[in-house]
Amino acid sequence: MKNTLITGYDRYYRQVLVKEIGGQGQQKLKKSKVLVIGAGGLGAPVLFYLAASGVGTLGVVDYDTVEMSNLQRQILYKTKDIGQIKVKAAKNTIKTLNPDVKVNTYNKKIITDADTNILSEYDIIIDGSDSIKLKNLIARKCVKVSKTLVTGSASTWEGQLFIYDPNNSVSCYSCIYGNQSNNNDNDCSHLGIVGTVTGMIGSMMASETIKNIVGLSSSLTNNLLIYDGLFNEFRKIFVPKNTTCRSCNYNL
């Protein structure tokens, strides 16, 4: 039977071969702690890929149970998981894929600043939630506690991705959508979503997280990436600092 070292070597071998990652990058991944808020269409592929890549600790925040209508895109869950608490089902799948990953679960809704205190315990925050109000709350907290934030969203055939890096950002997520803080609509439930689009955006969110952990810079800091799956187009839009943004100007 192979010992743990050899098993780990085999598991990550193809990734360690990538010159920007290597053995040192793999060690950084192992030591990293990543919090994923929302274990849905975006959170599921993010968690799957980060667990597969060897991120040492994953935190999973969600308050829902698995429903039949989730299975079209939330690839962590299986038909037998319907009715189960999402964070528990997510942990089971992650552990089956990679038992070496430590998984912390938070079966709760993040509503207040007090709830966001969990963020301080992690190195990188990933926002896969579907509420603009919550996204602004998380963005504000990440600015306040100087945490890298990877924010994604998806609806119909389109997706967006933006990164806040406290060391390199001039703008934050709320500089774009901060004035919509009272809009709590979930576009996905009203307009629909193509599962592969959440897969695309979720995979890119995981990829940007891996890059950040191993010390590579991102071109999505200060730039909003917009993906149009219907026409297969990517656009990057520069996001200047919004001088009226409540999150990064007043440090509330």
CB 144 → Zn ion: shortest distance, Å? 12
By the rule CB under 5 A, 36 interacts with Zn ion: no
Considering beta carbons, is residue 207 or 249 the nearer one to Zn ion?
249
CB 155 → Zn ion: shortest distance, Å? 22
> Letter for the amino acid at 95?
K
Residue 158's φ and ψ, nearest 5 degrees, are: -115, 150
Residues 141 to 200 in contact with Zn ion, rule: CB under 5 A: 172, 174-175
Give the torsion sign (CA, 42, 48, 53, 55).
Answer: positive
Considering beta carbons, is residue 93 or 174 the nearer one to Zn ion?
174
Total chain residues near Zn ion (CB under 5 A): 6
By the rule CB under 5 A, 245 interacts with Zn ion: yes
By the rule CB under 5 A, 248 interacts with Zn ion: yes
Residues 15 to 34 in contact with Zn ion, rule: CB under 5 A: none
Considering beta carbons, is residue 103 or 172 the nearer one to Zn ion?
172
CB 252 → Zn ion: shortest distance, Å? 11
By the rule CB under 5 A, 222 interacts with Zn ion: no
CB 240 → Zn ion: shortest distance, Å? 10
CB 62 → Zn ion: shortest distance, Å? 26
The whole-angstrom separation of Cα 38 and Cα 197 is 16
CB 246 → Zn ion: shortest distance, Å? 8
Considering beta carbons, is residue 155 or 247 the nearer one to Zn ion?
247
Q: Which listed range, 17-25, 56-64, 153-161, 242-250, lies at the site for Zn ion (CB under 5 A)?
A: 242-250
Question: Footprint of Zn ion on this chain (CB under 5 A)?
Answer: 172, 174-175, 245, 247-248
